[in-house]
């Protein structure tokens, strides 16, 4: 991760050791500053709209963001740990805390213990900080591939996605995306042990850690097969990185199986959410029902259908653009999981939030807009549209995004 954060100098810095590494990070942060400020600005628009909307309804917006839907489960796990959280009755079985991976609630627990923050405040603070770290990683990848302008726009586009409101909620997607994006960046810079370690951490945050681990593992294997040249890393580095990558995901699944007394204990817990991989059968049925329904159709159902269609198209463009193998694989595995999962339809757009490779074609196209006023208007319009839709998801739509 640290081998190419200093593109502002136009070449790798010759500094070595901790001082050199610190200098590279500072240079990388300075280069990313416009992207991070722009990302924070568009997300601030979304939060301010939520605050104003909540004030009209007599609702504390920040409190709602910190406790809405899955966020409350994470806080209960942080406070009582898994065996202290009572199952919640559901139509397909009890909703158990074991469905949620431990990385995010464990961090909430630690931060709340070390600071005066409550669990809800800590959860929101960690999520917001993670979103900025993820935006930095998105910038770093796009900057490395296409240049600084595209990097800034990629980070901003991530902040104005239709479901970008999730980036302001106390959800684990933000911490997961931060680890996953930097794991991909580390693999792109051939820092395989770092990539594997970050993939392990991502795998402790969400079940989709399997997508990161698979991408890192496949890319490491390809590196091992094709490595050549004097600057090729030692053979053991991609091997070790690939072996480390899935340990977080596999470790948690194994622990839940041990607690439940069955190797598939985690998957049985997930049955309450009807979350299983059915090779896209449920997704196809949802599309058919959506096209053929004559009764009320919720806006999020239409938005998710459009997002999935655009994601498939953008993935094809990503392949044509010859993005790095690890980035293409991560997008591919994430897209397969989003399309192939049997859980409720409107969650699919949220599942695609970490698939940052799909942003690159759109950011590259937007970078060709040379009139600054036009570009500002486009981004401002997208930010306001995303904010309005986010308010709809938080205050009006009855289900989780």
Residue 313 forms part of a structural domain: yes
Parts of the chain with a pLDDT under 50: 1-15
Cα–Cα distance measured from residue 58 to residue 48, given in angstroms and rounded to the nearest whole number: 15
| Residue 4 within a domain | no
Question: Is 17 within the bounds of a domain?
Answer: no
Question: How large is the C-alpha radius of gyration of the chain?
Answer: 21
pLDDT of residue 288: 82
Candidates 341, 321, 209, 204; CA nearest to 279 is: 341
Tell me, yes or no, whether 224 lies in a domain: yes
Count CB atoms within 10 A of the CB of residue 388.
Answer: 12
Residue 294 has a pLDDT of: 57
Residue 176 within any structural domain of the chain: yes
C-alpha separations of 173 from 53, 134, 180, 201, 232 in Å: 24, 10, 10, 13, 33
pTM more than 0.85:
yes
Cα–chain-centroid distance for residue 208? 9
pLDDT score at 16: 54
Domain that holds residue 37: 23-395
Here the tokens at position 343 are: 């859980």
Residue 95 confidence (pLDDT): 86
Pick from 185, 241, 202: which is nearest to 218 by CA?
A: 241
* DSSP run (H or E) holding 290: helix 281-292
Q: Is residue 74 in a domain?
A: yes
The angle formed by the CA atoms of residues 132, 329 and 273, to the nearest 5 degrees, is 70
Distance, in Å, from the CA atom of 29 to the CA atom of 223, rounded to the nearest integer, reads: 28
3 state SS of 172 = coil
How far apart are alpha carbons 200 and 176 in whole angstroms? 10
**Domain assignment of residue 5, yes or no:** no
d(CA 187, CA 233): 12
Identify whether the C-beta of residue 74 lies closer than 8 Å to the C-beta of residue 130.
no
- Closest among 159, 162, 255, 253 to 206, alpha carbons compared: 253
Q: Could you tell me how far CA 204 lies from the centroid of its own chain?
A: 13
User: Which tokens is 196 given?
Assistant: 């594997």
Q: Is residue 203 part of a domain?
A: yes
Q: What pLDDT score was predicted for residue 12?
A: 40
Angstrom distance (rounded) from CA 38 to CA 15:
30
Our count of domains for the chain comes to: 1
């Amino acid at each position: 991760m640290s081998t190419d954060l200093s593109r502002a100098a136009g070449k790798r810095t010759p500094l070595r050791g901790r001082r050199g590494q610190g200098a590279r990070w500072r240079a990388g942060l300075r280069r990313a500053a416009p992207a991070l400020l722009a990302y924070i600005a568009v997300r601030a628009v979304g939060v301010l709209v939520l605050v104003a909307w909540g004030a009209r309804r007599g609702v504390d917006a920040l409190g709602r963001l910190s406790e809405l839907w899955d966020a409350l489960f994470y806080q209960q796990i942080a406070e009582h740990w898994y065996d202290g959280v009572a199952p919640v009755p559901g139509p397909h079985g009890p909703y158990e805390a074991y469905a949620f991976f431990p990385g995010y609630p464990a961090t909430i627990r630690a931060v709340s213990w070390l600071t005066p923050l409550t669990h809800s405040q800590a959860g929101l603070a960690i999520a917001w900080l993670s979103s900025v770290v993820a935006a930095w990683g998105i910038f770093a990848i796009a900057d490395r591939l296409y240049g600084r302008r595209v990097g800034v726009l990629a980070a901003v586009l991530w902040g104005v996605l239709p479901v970008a409101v999730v980036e302001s909620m106390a959800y684990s997607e933000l911490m997961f995306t931060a680890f996953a994006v930097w794991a991909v960046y580390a693999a792109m810079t051939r820092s395989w042990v770092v990539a594997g370690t970050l993939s392990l951490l991502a795998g402790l945050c969400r079940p989709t850690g399997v997508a990161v681990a698979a991408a890192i593992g496949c890319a490491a294997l390809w590196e091992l097969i094709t490595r050549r040249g004097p600057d090729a890393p030692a053979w053991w580095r991609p091997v070790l990185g690939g072996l480390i990558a899935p340990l977080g995901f596999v470790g948690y699944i194994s622990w839940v199986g041990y607690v439940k007394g069955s190797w598939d204990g985690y998957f049985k817990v997930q049955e309450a959410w009807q979350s299983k991989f059915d090779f896209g059968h449920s997704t196809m049925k949802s599309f058919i029902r959506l096209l053929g329904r004559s009764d009320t159709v919720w806006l999020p159902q239409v938005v998710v259908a459009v997002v999935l269609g655009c994601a498939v198209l953008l993935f094809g463009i990503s392949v044509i653009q010859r993005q790095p193998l690890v980035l293409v694989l991560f997008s591919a595995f994430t897209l397969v999981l989003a399309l192939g999962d049997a859980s409720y339809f409107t969650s699919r757009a949220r599942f695609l939030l970490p698939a940052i490779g799909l942003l690159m074609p759109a950011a590259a196209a937007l970078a060709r807009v040379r009139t600054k006023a036009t570009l500002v208007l486009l981004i401002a319009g997208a930010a306001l549209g995303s904010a309005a839709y986010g308010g709809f998801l938080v205050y009006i739509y009855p289900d989780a995004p």
